[in-house]
Amino acid sequence: MKMEEVAVVGAGQTVFGFDRKETFEELVFEAATAALSDAGGSIGDIDNIVTVSNDFWDGRTISSMSVMSAAGSWNKDISTVEGDGMFGAVYGMMRTLSGSFDATLVVAHVKGSEGRMNLITNGMFDPIYQRPLGIDATISAALQARCYMERTGAGEEDFARVSVKNHGNGLRNPHAHLGMEITIDDVMRSRKISDPLKLYDCSPVSDGAAAIVLSNRRGLKRFRQKPAWIRGAAYCSDSYTLGYRDLADPRALRAAAQKAYRMAGIANPLKELDAAEVYDAYSYMELMWYEGLGLAAEGKGAELLRSGATETGGELPVNPSGGTLSAHPVLVAGLVRLIEAVLQVRGDAGRRQVPGAKRALAHGINGPCGQCHAVMIVEA
Amino acid sequence: MTKDKKNPNELLYITSGEMYQPYRYTLSSLSGRFLTEIKEKKKFLGVKCPECGRVYVPPRAVCGRCYARMNEMVQVSDEGEVVACAIVEFGFVDPSTGIERPVPYGTAFIRLDGADTALSHFLDCVDREKLKVGARVRAVFEEERTGSIMDIKHFEVID
Amino acid sequence: MGRRAAIVGFGQTKGSSSRRDVTGVELINEAVRAALADAGLGIGDIDAVVIGNMDHFEGVNYVDMWSVEGSGGVMKPVFKVTTGGTTGTSVAISAYYHVASGMFDRVLAIGWEKNSESDTTGAIITAYDPFWERPNMAGAIGGLAVDASRYMHDYGATERDGARVTVRERLHALNNPFAHLQQEWMRGKDAVFLVDALVASKENKVLAYPLRMSDMCPRTDAAAALIFAAEGTAEKIAPIPAWVLAVANRHNFVYYGDLDWSRNETLEAAAKKVFATAGIREPLKEVDVCELYLPYSYAGLAWMESIGFCGPGQGPQLLWDGVTDMDGELPVNPSGGVMSSNPIGATGIIRVGEAAIQIMRKAGTRQVGKDVNVAMATGFGGCYWADVMLLGRKKPV
């Protein structure tokens, strides 16, 4: 199927940080009104809404209820995706393509500071076999990191290099939670969290919200912003049980990426993309995702990083925004990846702009150890 | 884990334990003023929409109808009208406290005079003849107030 | 309208108060297998999966991920849609958009719940705002009792009117082998006799005045799945596909205290929109059968008015005239409805599926006698979330 019908025409995000004083409602209103104003439109130009939230993170059943007014749901069709914001964007895209609606507002929020990350992510594991072992997002990630090291020979210094790159990039992003000028040594010496992962290999727990406005061709006349066309979009889930998966092989990401590339007519992503925003919840993930996305050959993720190709100024800058390592509002983070890709192709990324970027990739994940991946390609 | 003696073919029943998920919910600054006003002055505040003029109690940041940010707080009465009500008689465990809530109790949505939306709270009354839609009620406050909605002990029926 | 889409398969498990013999994933798998068998498809034919439930009923986070081995989502596109009580209908609506968008040809929509795995009332209370409404609200029962108080006050509806709704639902359930509550003692008895019996029964305890036990739905373990297919594919799979004519939903409120308790305005608006889309002017005449999400008895009076099947306050008359019974002009809930089975995340899928099989003429002992050209399904959820789906025998124009 040829993709040319849906564009991102507006994007907004809050500043991400820990312990933000605003409520879910206030954060979503801030991001949504920013996206509408970026689009050069108003809530009256929107004919349906997708919200993204999660009952565990919010500590309430029907978590989307609290943001209904802030998302502008009054007398409009609305639905809720529970998962990463990229999947909210995918659902918003479907609704915009369905012929029922021309313009869709997608919002996502989280306040990681209100709950306990380890308990909430322990809740995604099997209650009989796994939860009693105390496993959570970080412990499972450490297992995956170790598998990846065994398979590829990548070392902890390689992971540290991702952390240095992305935290450094985060310094140029006014929305980032944790931009830092650090060295490989700093990462290596930071506190052990779950071997081989250390503090600076792990993303922070962040609060915040983000929003985008999607429009089909018919809806475009309502808005003034330059459209960023979605040229490819695909998503795919691997098995759930960690023991059923080859944790070091991101086959679901490979499947999603290949489909998105086919839609967008991309044969060599490393050459043909100008920027990529990937979901680096933990440093090692970025290297694995290089391979899944076909930017590096199997086992060559660390080599690609060491070559400098993914640094600012390299052949394909990855996470010029600082990535998830610099701000990790869970659920919102994938939508932020898309927003950052949009800003890049519009040339609106400020001090983190990749000069001349025309085509960018955004990536979101769901589930433990990157079980499910969504990939979008946007183009100015 | 227990085994059903009557049916040896039945598998083990496994209970994975109570899930403990603590949260630190955020109170907006408008809501903080609302609770402070109750705590310090035993008075109610609502927030007024700059566009449609509706007064919302409890306060919140956005008027859904107008998609407008609200900031102006106005005083409303501590008396109002029951718009819908029930007398709860079944026992259940309150998830916020982990203990069984005492029954029976009266519960109602109360539109305070001067407000356009209703506040939900306890009634002092479980009399079906008195606790009715349209009944006039007044807030009764606790002597010791801590800055919570429970600073209102309950509402009492006044007619 | 985008690409046309139809329902071509439906599967559900028998509702029961506890399915301790299976895990949630296995329960989901039962429904998926049933739906695939119904459509004559294999899991390899499915292009995408969308699933929903409510997290706090089982205490499992990221259910779409946790369930892939049962749902068939391994190496497929899958995500979760959840909107509270409306989850099932919202999942069905989402599956429709999956197809209408042109992105997928055959989409599996799954809803499930094992309410036996947690304290349902406790989990529902956490849907209320933690500061303002949680301290005094009493789950679904308390909220719905409040709803009933207002309708009874405004229109003078009585306990007997409520009981008459219950009697209809429970009599219909006796025709449905999948319904959870099967009240055999009611079989073959006259409706008026049964209403008198419920009202007089001492065992029929008050839960939250004005609601008694017989006014409420049960808590159920079950799963259900639907298969949606695109025009061009659907006709090859099903002899009579159930075409989606229109979908709409509304959810205006953040707090229960914001509701206008005298009317269900979200259901009103959503129904109005689907009727306008489908060109329906006289709903009572033009809709042939309904599967409405009526979680408690009085909803069977008040919400008939909200949808526009009768005027304000006329719900009881419509009911007592037998219009909504199996042989009436507009049979409502031939399945026995939510009051006979409420596996919350699956409930909306079941409404849509039961409406679809009336069109597909696969409803067996609960097939209505008349021709079914237009069938309506609704969903209801927290803070009056309203979903409506209209299905038809003829492809929409």
Nearest chain C residue (CA) to A100: C1
Measured in angstroms, the CA of B15 and the nearest CA of chain A are apart by 8
- Tokens standing for C207? 């839960």
Q: Is the bond preceding residue A196 a cis peptide, omega within 30 degrees?
A: yes
Residue B9 φ/ψ, nearest 5 degrees: -80, -15
Token pair in block for residue C325: 């019974």
CB spacing of B120 vs C136 below 8 angstroms: yes
C122, B92: Cβ pair inside 8 Å?
yes
Average pLDDT, chain A: 96
Please tell me which of the candidates C149, C254, C257 has its beta carbon nearest to residue B85: C149
Residues of B in contact with A26 (CB under 8 A): 28, 61
Please give the pLDDT value at position B19: 72
User: Could you read off the pLDDT of A131-188 as tens digits, one per residue?
Assistant: 989 999 999 999 999 999 999 999 999 999 999 999 999 999 999 999 999 999 999 9
pLDDT for res B2: 42
Residue B139 has pLDDT above 90, yes or no: yes
Domains by residue range for chain C, with CATH: 5-119+219-237 (3.40.47.10)
User: How many angstroms from the chain centroid is the CA of residue C308?
Assistant: 18
> Which pair of structure tokens corresponds to residue A77?
């069709």
Q: How far apart are CA C397 and CA C395, in angstroms?
A: 6
Q: Which of C146, C154, C205, C213 to mutate to test the interface with B (most CBs of B within 10 A)?
A: C146
**What tens digit of pLDDT does each residue of C31-78 get?**
999 999 999 999 999 999 999 999 888 899 999 999 999 999 999 999
The whole-number pLDDT of residue B4 equals 46
Nearest CB among B21, B24, B64 relative to A74 is that of: B64
Residues in chain C, pLDDT under 50: none
* Both structure tokens of B27: 């109170």
- Domains in chain A: boundaries: 6-116+205-222
Interface of A with C in 143-162 (CB under 8 A): none
* Cβ contact, residue pair C81, A121, below 8 Å: no
Which is it for strands C106-114 and C221-230: parallel, antiparallel or unpaired? antiparallel
Query: CB-based contacts of A115: which residues, under 8 Å, 6+ apart?
Result: A56, A57, A58, A59, B21, B22, B23, B24
Model confidence pLDDT, tens digit, residues A368-380: 999 999 999 999 9
In 3D, which of C30, C70, C99 has the Cα closest to residue C244? Answer: C99
How far apart CA C272 and CA C292 sit, in angstroms, is: 15
Write out pLDDT tens, residues C71-102: 999 999 999 999 999 999 999 999 999 999 99
* Model confidence at A2: pLDDT above 60: no
The fold adopted by the segment(s) A6-116+205-222 is Peroxisomal Thiolase; Chain A, domain 1 (3.40.47)
| Residues in chain C within 8 Å Cβ distance of A376 | none
Helix extents (H) in A215-314: 251-264, 269-272, 283-292, 301-306
Residue in A25, A98, A237 closest to C97 by CB: A98
Among the listed residues C202, C225, C131, C192, the one whose alpha carbon sits nearest the alpha carbon of residue C320: C192
- Which residues, in sequence order, are bridge partners of residue C114? C221
pLDDT digits (tens, 9 = 90+) for A41-76: 999 999 999 999 999 999 999 999 999 999 999 999
